[in-house]
Each structure stands twice: as C-alpha cells, then as structure tokens.
Amino acid sequence: MSGLPLLQILLFSIIIALGGVCDGIGYTRNDFPSNFIFGSGTSAYQVEGAANEDGRTPSIWDTFAHAGYSQGDTADVACDHYHKYKEDVQLMADIGLDAYRFSISWSRLIPNGRGAVNPKGLEFYNNLINELLKHGIQPHVTLVNYDHPQALEDEYGGWVSQKMVKDFVQYADVCFREFGDRVQYWTTVNEPNVFGDGSYDTGIAPPQRCSPPFGVINCTRGNSSTEPYLAVHHILLAHASVVRLYRENYQAKHHGFIGLCIYAYYYVPFSDTKEDIIATQRANDFLLGWVMDPLVFGDYPKIMKENAGSRIPTFTKLESKMVKGAFDFIGLIHYFVVKIKDNSVSLMTELRDFHSDQAVKTRMDEDLFTGAELPISPWGLEGVLEYLKQVYGNPPVFIYENGQRMLRTSSLEDTPRVEYLQAYIGGVLNAMRNGSDTRGYIAWSFLDVFELFNGFKSAYGLVYVDMDDPELKRYPKLSARWYSQFLKRKTKVDTDQVIESEENVFDLSS
C-alpha cells in the first residue's frame, strides 16, 4: 500500500502543528527562488459571462446554475471578463502578478463538443493570452473546470462514457495547436478526485449524477456505487492520452509542461486511536491516492481495490503504462484541515457507495459550503506538500488554489484574507525549506467570481466587483494591496502598515 507508516503520519502531523510557520513579518519575496511564480486565478464559467454570446453553448455548469443550485444565481454575466479582459489584465499587471491561471470554456471554443471550432471563441482566448504576455504575465491554462459541454452530457453521459476520452483528446489538440506556442503550462482536468465524488456520488455538483440513498439531492439518474470510479477512470485515461499527444506532437517545439490538478484536504486523526489513524490513511488513499497512485505507480491504491471490488475499473497493462508518469507537475488545491474519525462498521453494510467504501466520518474545520471564513491552518498545506514529497517522490508542484473565503461585501477591508495569505505563503516557504519541490503559488481568486455552491453570496477575490454597477466596476481590496507590496517591494512586509494605509488601497503602483 502506498503511504507513510501510519505512526509516522500522525507524528508528522504533530510536528507540523507545533512547529509554527513564517508569518508576514518574517519573510520576503526574496526568500523564494527567483523563478518561483506568484499569481492569481479564475475559471471560465466563474468569470467570463457572455454565456449566450458569440456562438457559445451551455455547459453542465450552466445547467446546474439555471436549475437553482447556486443560491439562485447564474454566471450568464458573471464578471464579464469576456468583454473586460483588457481592464482585468491591466489590474493584474498593476498588482504585479507573475502568472494568471484560467480555464478555457470547451463550449465556447467547440460549441458542439467536437467538430467545428468557433472563430469568436478562438479570437477571445488568443486575445486574452496575447494581452497577458504583453504585460509580462504567464498564462497557466486548465482545459476543463466542471464545465464540459452539455451537448456531450446529453449525447452519451459525459465522463461516464469512454467516448469522452476521444472527444477530450480532440479538444485538447485544438488548444495545443492554437495556443501552445504561447502557453507553457497546461493542466487537463481540474480536481478530478473531488469532481468524481461531488458530481457522481453525492450529486451536489454538475452534472448531478447519483442514486438513492447516497445522493444528497433528489437523484434522477446515475449510480453512486459505480459512477464515481468510472468517471475518474475515464478522466485518467483522457488525461494520459492528452499528455501523450502533447509530448509526442507539441512539447519539443513549444517547450511547455503539462500536469493534472488535484484537491487535497490535510487529513489528521480525530484521536490517537489505532482505528482513527488507520482511517486517516484510508482517507488519504481515497482522496489523493485515487489520482496520484495511478500517475506515480500505475494503479489504484490497494485499499480502494479491496473495498470497491469489481465496482472500480481496472487498467490494462497498456493503460497502466500510459498513465504512469503522465505528468510534468501536479497542480494542488488546498484550503483547510479535516479531522478523520473511523466509521469502518459501514464497510459491513450490503449497499455501498464511494463514501461508505471510504468509511470515515469527517469533522471539517469549517463547513465547505457556507460563506464563513476558513480557519488559518498553514501547517495543513505544509503537511500535504510533505505527504506528496514522501509518498509520491516529491513531484514539482504549483499551488493552483488557496485563499480565504468571506461573505461577499462591498467592504474592501478584507484583513482576514491578508492574514490567510501571509500565513499560507509562509507555510509554502517552510515546506520548500524542508525539501518540497514547489514551483509557484496562485491565490484564489483574482476577482470576486461566481462560486459553485454559493453563487455570488461568498467571495475569495483580491478584487471586488460591484454587481450593482452596470459597468461592473472593479475595486482592489486590502489583500490586493498587501499582495502587491509583497510582490514588488521584495522587503519584509509589516501587516500593520498595510492595514493603516487602506486609504491608498487603489494605488497599486507604489
């Protein structure tokens, strides 16, 4: 079984928790390597708007939002990044970002999911990429972020069908051919481990496939016992096929890199009992191992295969060889720590789904689906990076999402976000000093974008967007000011001074 010895995992958790982290006063940008990337990010449906313009067709996220599952909000307009991208890129440059992580809308680029490319969609992404490069900002591009075309979902069920592999490869080929000469960093599918769980087991995320009694919605289609495994299996095959395509046809001439983005809580035992410690490792195997084990070792974790049995697909020898090593880097999404309590009695029940296979009870430091502020536990991010280092051979990592959630407000004094960023950037530095091969930090999110579960009720943005203003005017927050000072001055940043200078929050050029 992959993973650290169980006692070592617990011991490391305690060491990290007691060890402390660098704070905002204790480090500068100069403490990071000169080629370390700092940036911020969004995704297509969350920021672009123009949902019904210039040939774009609905994605599964459009369908989800219009059914009322995002607090009644939709992203038909969102932040109107589609029309305001030049203004937004100028803001990025003013803040001093090295990189911008965004996703491409498959529905905008190839409206039917396959076949003809939409000229207007092609023009938009070419313009955006060129504008970024004009301002010295590195594009980091994700191909799919919860938004594959509804046309493919209607035709054959999207990721539950192996037909999706071929269509995804053809879509990726268009992106590499059209944009690859200017994009050096690609990720294929955003957080397939959480997507598999939320979209095909509980049904809380698009395309909302699940089955009673496991789904938390009124399930009308799907199978919670098999489809999470099936969807992620097809995503891994599609990812590996796209990596092979990129390496064979594009990498040598474009000199780029390709990876996969995973979601990671940092799991810690609820108690020091043997049962909770074992459950913590099981949770890690079901969350991280589900994707990382195939990429590094060529197969799923042993405990997953034992618990899921015939419900989890198997790799052929050829597929295993193709998936193993199919990444140049790992994109990491992390926000908070989760405590694990054993519930293995559920493994004895006859009717099982993905969650009962996992057989743990979780106590989250904060509810994932509210607008409440997240606890500041940077040792959790350090712990995930250490786990990747020790278990999976220390792969190159970009932190692609990390940030503080707050209730959406017009107040620009987002001090908790400043404190969160300070702590977690310090945690990344600690992990690097401990040997982690982390290459960049991308704060979530650049703007107050449309969120999956909360719509516009909660926000992570460095920049406030006034949704009541017809022009959707942007207002940089205190966190943007702090980030800008950190990125530009390359000196120790005194948080108190930043907070006291809030009257200059719009002056990002100093």
Catalytically active residues, by annotation? 191, 401
3-state secondary structure 5-67: CHHHHHHHHHHHHHHCCCCCCCCCHHHCCCCCEEEEECCHHHHCCCCCCCCCCCEHHHHHHHC
> Rounded distance, CA 418 to CA 32, Å?
19
Strands, E assignment, 291-396:
329-333, 337-342, 360-364
Asked whether the bond before 192 is cis by omega within 30 degrees of 0, the reply is no
Neighbours of 27 (CB within 10 A): 20
Tokens matching residue 482:
């702090």
* DSSP bridge partners of 266: 337
Does residue 2 sit in helix, strand or coil? coil
CA distance readout (Å), 42 to 153, 236, 304: 24, 23, 32
The burial of 248, by beta-carbon neighbours within 10 Å (0-12 exposed, 13-18 middle, 19 or more buried), is given as exposed
CA distance readout (Å), 483 to 33, 490, 505: 17, 11, 11
Query: Do residues 397 and 14 lie in contact, with contact meaning Cβ atoms separated by under 8 Å?
Result: no
Query: Do residues 60 and 70 lie in contact, with contact meaning Cβ atoms separated by under 8 Å?
Result: no
Q: State which amino acid sits at residue 327.
A: F
3-state helix, strand, coil in the chain (%, to 5): 45, 15, 40
Does residue 71 sit in helix, strand or coil? coil
Tokens matching residue 73:
């909000």
> Rounded distance, CA 271 to CA 294, Å?
30
Residue from 3, 76, 32, 25 nearest 440 by CA: 32
Residue from 189, 175, 167, 63 nearest 115 by CA: 167
Query: Do residues 110 and 172 lie in contact, with contact meaning Cβ atoms separated by under 8 Å?
Result: no
